[in-house]
Amino acid sequence: MHTHHPSRFGTRLTQAAVALTVVVPGTVLGLSQSASAAPLPATYAANAHSDILSLGATVAGQSLATLAVGHSQGSVASSAAGAGGANASSSNLDATLGGTPVPVDSATASVSTNAGVDDPAARVLVPVPAAPVASIGAITGDVEARWGGANACATPVVSGTRTLSAATTTLAGASVGQLGLPAPLNVTVAQVGASSTTSGTYLVDDGIGGSDVVSSTTTQVGQVNLLNGAAVIDVSNPVVLQARSDGTTGTSGFASTPTIVATIGGNAIPIPVNNQPQSLALPGVLGPLVSLTVTAFTPTFANSGATGSATMDALLSIDLKVLNLPAPIGTTVADVSLDIAPMAANAVAPAGGVDCNGTQQGSLAPPDITSPAQNARVTDSTPLISGTGAPGATVTVREGTRVLCTAVVPSNGRWSCSSTVVLANGSHTVTATQSANGTTSAADSATFTIAADPGDLDGDGLPNDEETDRGTDPNNPDTDGDGLTDGEEVNRYGTDPLKKDTDKDGLTDGQEVKGVTVKQRIYVCGKKKVPSSFTVRTNPLKKDTDKDGISDGKEVKGTKIKQKVRVSKGKTIKIGKVRTNPRRKDSDRDGLTDKVEMTGKANKKYGKAKTDPTRCDTDRGGVSDGAEIKAGSNPSDSRSTPKKPNGGRKKG
């Protein structure tokens, strides 16, 4: 084990504490505290993981199967029986390359059972072979794990934060190949600047005698340069996704919403973080030759009880296609799918948090907000907010990080104050804390709706007269019942407030915007974890969001393929109903689009035998379906291999 360097650890822990404290004061995660903290040993757990980027590309006839580059993961688990430990790992990648294993290299740290610290020196990981399609720069891994044993929390404590595990992975940069074509296509397709990601787990003092369990992923995204600067994309840094649990309520979210800007021809184009694809047009001669779509995602939340959990397939997804001259009938010379910063975090704590004896017991309880009542409708845009608290304490009411008003609790324990900020029509969640003798309590919260404008009776953002003109119901905020308010449909998403399904793809507008859960295991090339379901958001104005020839509704609801597949040991299985990802042309990333797999179009050599678009390797033979097609073998028959395509049998 590497000898501990105090200066190196101190720097990392300070950075972690800063990242964590971004969230705490502003109640972005809106926690409410329960009673006394749980004494050790206690049951709690947290896990965080992230990748710097995920890349799949075909350039000038050469293909690169999807690679997840620059992985970091931190975890901790503790039980009331006294068992537990912390683990951290930093990896160059976690993938397979067209059915061929690639050299996965990981720096790891682990401490369990007995108290201790594992803090090895940072090191350069094994290079990622991606030539000739791409070039992946040097990747460095730096990890640490700390465990205080069954009856103590890990030390040291910096700004109220104890690091249990942390893994930082740094990428020097990456680029996707040179096209090598005449102007204007003599360009490098894509470049990503130096980037890093840190995943960790922490105990954070809650100020009333306990510690919350927190997991966090922090990603620094380098500049993305497309086609030699024809389009440049910048992300505000750092991007922090966090999950937190106090043992009563689990929450998760961004520390702050990232700002993403694309610059094209000197013009700055904001990319909204709203899960909706943005088509960007390039100027000049590149315009008709390039299809560029950029999508910025919000997290998918799975908070439940005391568990806080959030995942993102990517912060930013870039789909780039380049045609050779003459266009528009030219051949595709580059097709690149680039996902930036896939992230996930989850945390769960015992009731009251973990007792690390970091602060004194008996501190202030949170105040109560009694008015406005939960889910009330309020007509005053500067509402009176009132409740109960500890006499003499100062109550501060906030919405997010913005202070609305303050009040000193009188001797009768009943406080009130009016918002000094004018609140817009719509839903608002406010929090209240109280402070006394240098101690600040946890927060209570209340959610209510402002409907201050008599000209908008239902508070949906559309004036009554406009609702009359459009034919919507001025007394119903969601006339068509699709899950979006009339105002959201007209002013934000451009959908029809009189039609549940504007693009007629089989999904309601609300499902497309807010996300729909698809119960389907998708065995993606290069991914070891296969969740039983996934949540996806689609474009409510496009019947086929990923342009794969299958409507969004059909992808979500499923298609029966009815194809027999010969797997190992003479066994035959039948592909039944499968549900694909409407945001990806190639759900399993095997090099074949979903529609091509469902129709068998690419497998003409073997009678158009269909393959499973949810399995990278339909016949379980160890080679991806796309690689088999390129090699001339049948991906629906394990007897047919790239080395022996006919498998001793005739084609067709």
Final residue in a domain of this structure, among 348, 379, 398: 348
Q: In the predicted model, is pLDDT for residue 234 greater than 70?
A: yes
User: Are residue 537 and residue 412 in the same domain, yes or no?
Assistant: no
For the segment 400-428, what is each residue's pLDDT rounded down to a tens digit? 888 999 999 988 889 999 988 878 888 89
User: Are residue 256 and residue 378 in the same domain, yes or no?
Assistant: no
In a domain, 455, yes or no: no
Whether the CB-CB separation of 265 and 322 falls below 8 Å is answered with no
Full residue range of the structural domain in which residue 566 is found: 511-652
User: Are residue 312 and residue 390 in the same domain, yes or no?
Assistant: no
Q: In the predicted model, is pLDDT for residue 609 greater than 70?
A: yes
User: Are residue 437 and residue 300 in the same domain, yes or no?
Assistant: no
Phi, psi of 609 (to 5 degrees): -60, 130
User: Are residue 311 and residue 226 in the same domain, yes or no?
Assistant: yes
Query: What CATH number corresponds to the domain at position 419?
Result: 2.60.40.1220
Cα–Cα distance for residue pair 282/320, rounded to 1 Å: 12
For the segment 482-494, what is each residue's pLDDT rounded down to a tens digit? 999 999 999 999 9
User: Are residue 210 and residue 329 in the same domain, yes or no?
Assistant: yes
In a domain, 485, yes or no: no
Residues 6+ apart with CB under 8 A from 147: 76, 84, 85, 86, 111, 112, 114, 115, 116, 117, 154, 164
Residues 6+ apart with CB under 8 A from 6: none
In a domain, 494, yes or no: no
User: Are residue 206 and residue 293 in the same domain, yes or no?
Assistant: yes
In a domain, 580, yes or no: yes
Q: According to the model, what pLDDT value does residue 7 have? A: 34
For the segment 292-324, what is each residue's pLDDT rounded down to a tens digit? 999 999 999 999 999 999 999 899 999 988 887
In a domain, 583, yes or no: yes
pLDDT category of residue 166 using cuts at 50, 70 and 90: very high
Q: According to the model, what pLDDT value does residue 17 have? A: 42
User: Are residue 335 and residue 373 in the same domain, yes or no?
Assistant: no
Whether the CB-CB separation of 355 and 38 falls below 8 Å is answered with yes
Q: In the predicted model, is pLDDT for residue 328 greater than 70?
A: no
Of the chain, the end-to-end C-alpha distance in Å amounts to 59
User: Are residue 309 and residue 408 in the same domain, yes or no?
Assistant: no
* Number of domains the chain is built from: 3
User: Are residue 327 and residue 372 in the same domain, yes or no?
Assistant: no
In a domain, 232, yes or no: yes
**276-285: average pLDDT:** 90
Final residue in a domain of this structure, among 317, 348, 379: 348
Buried b (16+ CB within 10 A) or exposed e, 568-580: eeeeeeebeebbb
In a domain, 353, yes or no: no
For the segment 170-196, what is each residue's pLDDT rounded down to a tens digit? 999 999 877 666 666 677 888 999 999
User: Are residue 328 and residue 380 in the same domain, yes or no?
Assistant: no
Final residue in a domain of this structure, among 348, 377, 404: 348
Tokens 């740290």, residue located: 109
In a domain, 241, yes or no: yes
User: Are residue 84 and residue 131 in the same domain, yes or no?
Assistant: yes
